[in-house]
With several copies, the nearest count.
Chain A
Amino acid sequence: MAQPRIVVQHDDFDIAAEMSRISGQNRNIGAVVTFSGLCRDEAGTLAALEIEHYPGMAEAEIGRVAAEVLGRWTLTGLTIIHRFGLIKPGENIVLVMAASVHREAAFNAASFLMDYLKNTAPFWKKEHLTTGEERGWVEAKTKDQEAFKRLHSL
């Protein structure tokens, strides 16, 4: 396949446009699996997430994860978009779109990519509450930290 499309930006993305872009590349695509990660409102307590990232490394690390995925599964297209900055409940945070001839590769690639991305891509979330306070930085889940340690044997 062509190079994966990797974008790190503040602006929102357009799923329909990304879908056309990925399926327009090749008429032998049978399956496209799309993961959209959204900002939850946490039962009305969350006003916004502020997402900090490491410019340069964010793109580079997503590129390394994409290369790993493309080595494991045969895809006909792969797009990864991660937003940063202030994001409100209901808004998009991340998009992963994997296209393949048969559906298993696209499902497995998208799912693996999200697991891997969460553990290695340099992004951090801070929560702003509807009360006007900051709840502070989201803590990494233990299982995500353990997955990272297995990858990097820290």
Chain B
Amino acid sequence: MTKLVYFAWVRERIGKGEEVIELDPAIVTVGDLLAHLKTRGEEYAAALEYENVIRVAINQEHVEHDAPIKGATEIALFPPMTGG
């Protein structure tokens, strides 16, 4: 089981802040995960429409879209940061 967490407009479009899901072993990279999530419903498709702007962190560290998700206990999806 993997915990997914969402922030800002990704959270708003998906309609929840977090969820725990079972990931198929065929989902190897972050890119695979994003493609899979888009099939879970309209709200996911809307949230992840512009896939390449989505930032991803695994276990609270930024990763690239080709990073493997093996070993992830928490995967976060969010828009580009606007702090500071």
B42 contacts the other chain (Cβ, under 8 Å)?
no
- B79-A140 in contact (CB<8A): yes
Interface size grouping (class) on chain A: 35 or more
**B62: nearest residue on chain A (CB-CB)?**
A152
In the bound complex, what is the Cα–Cα distance between A117 and B11 (angstroms)?
22
- B83-A118 in contact (CB<8A): yes
Say what secondary structure dominates the interface of chain A.
mixed
The answer to whether residues A124 and B57 also contact, given A54-B76, A154-B65 and a CB cut-off of 8 A, is no
Interface set, chain B 5-62, CB cutoff 8 A to A: 5, 7-9, 52-53, 55, 57, 60-62
- B8-A121 in contact (CB<8A): no
In the bound complex, what is the Cα–Cα distance between A37 and B84 (angstroms)?
7
B83 to chain A, nearest CB (A): 3
Max chain A Cβ within 10 angstroms of own Cβ: one of B7, B9, B55, B80: B80
**A141: nearest residue on chain B (CB-CB)?**
B82
- A124-B76 in contact (CB<8A): no
- A140-B84 in contact (CB<8A): no
The answer to whether residues A124 and B65 also contact, given A54-B5, A94-B84, A114-B84 and a CB cut-off of 8 A, is no
List of B residues within 8 angstroms of A126 by Cβ: 8
- B9-A122 in contact (CB<8A): no
Proximity bits, A111-128, B CB within 8 Å = 1, else 0: 000100111111111100
Enumerate 21 A-B pairs (CB-CB under 8 Å) in ascending A order: A54-B60, A54-B76, A61-B61, A64-B61, A82-B84, A93-B84, A118-B82, A118-B83, A119-B81, A120-B62, A121-B84, A122-B76, A122-B78, A122-B81, A124-B8, A137-B79, A140-B81, A144-B82, A145-B80, A148-B80, A152-B62
